[in-house]
Chains A and B, each alone.
Chain A
Amino acid sequence: MDLLSIKNLEIEFPSRRGTVVAVNDVNLTVQPGEVLGVVGESGAGKSTIGNAVIGLLEPPGRMSGGEVYLKGEQINNLSSEEKRKIRGRRIGMIFQDPLTSLDPLQTVEQQLVETIELHLKLGEAKAKERAIDLLHQVGIPNPELRVKHYPHQFSGGMRQRVVIALALCAEPEVIIADEPTTALDVSIQAQILELMRKLCQEKQVGMLIITHDMGVIADITDRVAVMYRGNLVEEGTTQKILGNPDHPYTKSLISAVPRPDIRLKRFPMVDYIEKEEDRKKLLDISTHWLGQARDFDAVEGPLVEVEDLVMTFVTKPAFLKKNRQTFNAVNGVSFEIRQGEVFGLVGESGSGKSTVARMISGLYKPAKGAVKFGGTNLTEIKSEKELDYFRRQMQMIFQDPFSSLNGRMRVMDIVAEPIRFHKLTSSNAETEGIVMDLLEHVGLGRQAAVRFPHEFSGGQRQRISIARALATRPRFLICDEPTSALDVSIQAQILNLLKDLQEELGLTMLFISHDLPVIRQMCDRVGVMKMGELVEVTETEKLFTAPEAPYSQELLSLMPKLDNLSQQGLQVEGA
């Protein structure tokens, strides 16, 4: 008997403007002890399937056809109370968006203990013990202390691990993991994958894992299903899919996987197009709006300099200052980014990468140290007007696409906002034209403009975020894991666009990522962070060939190798 089986699943989102069929006639099965990988285009309907299985489709979404069986028992037509009993206990779910999946007002401990007590019927003390143990298992350092913290005190990757711990805590029979490792560094990722694998093997748990990371697919899955536009286009053993795909879409996907071993000038891309009108226009930056009118002052020396940055968080507020517990998330970080350079920042999850990015963009005020832009110390500028000039040159793509978009604005207004604000166009019609164009270039299509953020998949939202960042025609772009939620082919497309911008216009970037192959392809120099400190800053190639710091060496050794990847149709440009 199949552990989990999905038959002819069909899901649609009806709306006034027509019905979006998100999933169309999909059949999947998971056996006990088996790991099924689901890959596919961003927006293909992968998360929707996961939601449907546990019966938490968001309205107006509804299952318009098909059945779901758990151990032969049909579960999609159960009463809501019976469904609830299955959730968490028998089917564990890890949602795609770790940053918003946790209740902001309760400590991690409260949320863990509550779930453990409910499902395992343990006493409070036991449950607490188990909570700490779980955190330990998912690689949260210092779990005894951390367990008392609130979600906002965790980094993106750490929250993701808490979510995993929550999903695993009742030892369910089936685990549905929606991009569980996107925000994790390779070592933690390896640890988590190991944990999951062990669960599957020892407890005969079945797992459905949705991911864009071919490394993860190669590492953990037994079988792989490939989705495209709501349809299941191909299914087979991992070996088969990665090594010898049949469907042209799968082929195009595999070809776009960034190579960890050598640096290519551009990301290889094989466009898979069903319909001719979907073909993306090639973009000529020299004539395109994005490339025009850059009136920035020339800068001598490095564009961005970061000097001895320190960021202190209060982790336990207290009545008196001396009883307060504080913690330096970033501790004495200095580096510089030259003009036209892409500076990579890698490192342990929770090591302070996002915090550095936020300090540079002015969102956090450093406790100590200085951020200089073109020689000007930004931390000292007081007047808004003056800062404006620099802000226009600087943009940021946030790590979490779910919360960085205002849910009450339409995509059109979100992307147009920076253009309108900086008065980069002369008419509204022009602005709207540019926004449409940008949306197309990030692969969303024009019809996205009138929708609201919550109507999009994770990857699609990330693309909105990217379009918004590009809309100001920035000189310096801070990218906090810009593409981790994207499928590799879209990723390639966007990274190529960034590369073009960099080459033609000298766009400077701070590029934070856990994806080492991407780092290798994108960055000129890399800084490696661990526990709030910069342990190594070096040329990218040097890092990959001869890492110096022990931590760097460890990181690289854990990088998935993807040896057996199909290399069909892949032409190596430059190198």
Chain B
Amino acid sequence: ETFKYAFQGSLSSLDPHSLNETFLLGTLGNIYEGLVIYDENLTVTPGLAESWEIVEPTKWKFNLRKGVKFHNGNDFTAEDVVFSWQRALSEGSDQKVRAAKIKNIEVVDDHTIIIETPAPNPILTSDLYFVYMMDKTWSEENNTTEATSPSADTTGNFANLNANGTGPFKVTEHKADVKTTFERHADYWGNMKSNVTRIEFTPIKEAATRVAALISGELDLVYPVPVQDWQRLDDAAGVKSLAGPEARTIFLGMDQGRDELLYSNIKGKNPFKDIRVRQAMAHGINLEAIKQKVMRGASTPAGLMVAPQINGFVAELNTPYAYDPKKSKELLAEAGYPDGFEVTLDCPNNRYVNDEKICQAVVSMLAKVGVKVDLLAQPKSKYFGKILATGGFDTSFYMLGWTPGTVDSENAMSSLLACQNAETKVGLFNLGNYCNPRVDELTAKVGSETDQDARNAMIKEAFQIVKDEVGYLPIHQQPLSWGVRDGVSVVQRADNILDFRNVVVGK
């Protein structure tokens, strides 16, 4: 059976260590595999490692699966694990952060290794999911023992355009940005649901074209589908929409670090430093309206910075701030801004689901409570260039979306909630520099606490503080939105990854 699908972006490389991007890693997860893999519900299950145990707080023993063959027929051994880890640490690799969670790998025998971590790491396995295993022999033969680096010489890296993994599918043709064809790997070690023998992937940038291609029957699956097109898909014969919550939380951040806001009419002070102003903002945004109108009912309004799929999620904290414009105005007046104030909202317009539209809605809602927000909506490359560290955090009010790659709250805490600290490399995506020493402290502890309950309590405490202080303005968990042909069954994972193992094509 052949299965054809399209995604909005392209598969920029076949090198598993080249770029740490969900789509790239997700797709390569069908060719390459890590020691562990996620199942349909994002639970860690054995992958190339059959089993593991923690022998010491910082030492994990992994028993590698036997009889696993790479696509070229080579056997998978402990050597390959060590090689792949080292490769992930190499110059051009974008998996260094994950690979650095391993201090050393000790080869016990061909199928047993001991991984040593620099500090106790309760979520090591989550990090290992994306560290894919490559064939050492093959890599050496083809002179691709280092990851494909964007800064390399003109000599291309072999692994960039060719692949040799242990996964259920192998690449037969790859034209970056045009088309990639996969075929089933006959010697795959696992059992899978899929009955597909051949897969064709085409990037289709324009949403309308994607949807049209699905309806016209040229494709079996496309994603993402604009939320407003669901109805159309469901009405059309032979296709349907496939929706579900994504593990990504969309939120607004406010600059609480600077003493004076950029792009504001208020000089000499920073209104966002005043908690009443932040509360006013929170109560001024009607999340329900955004859900109903902008997201066509498909999002989950959020009060928390992480999604339910993420470890550490606290259901009772997820209730959004109540929409109460009157209260909002009062709070503003109390804070000394009875006539509101001006600020510019930075917003991407091609990054998240309906990002610009959400921003527009927010801007108009805030206008009603008196905060005059100018909207600067830009494509992601300009947007991130402006608001991130490279642009000097050039923003005072911004929209961002976050999926903790480890499926654990720790990632969100250290990236978003901890105070900005260049040395310890935390809080670097805390663009507005929300800062609370207790949250900082908790974040550090959560990073090494191995007792799940204690850990979750700490996470909860941190989230409670952030919520009380209105450190951020969470908006919602955005929906996953796919469209499939009738008769095709797939599993829509909350991390928006398409696992070929679960694709079944019917008549």
Do any CB atoms of chain A lie under 8 A from CB atoms of chain B in the complex?
Answer: no
**A residues within 8 Å of B by Cβ?**
none
**B residues within 8 Å of A by Cβ?**
none
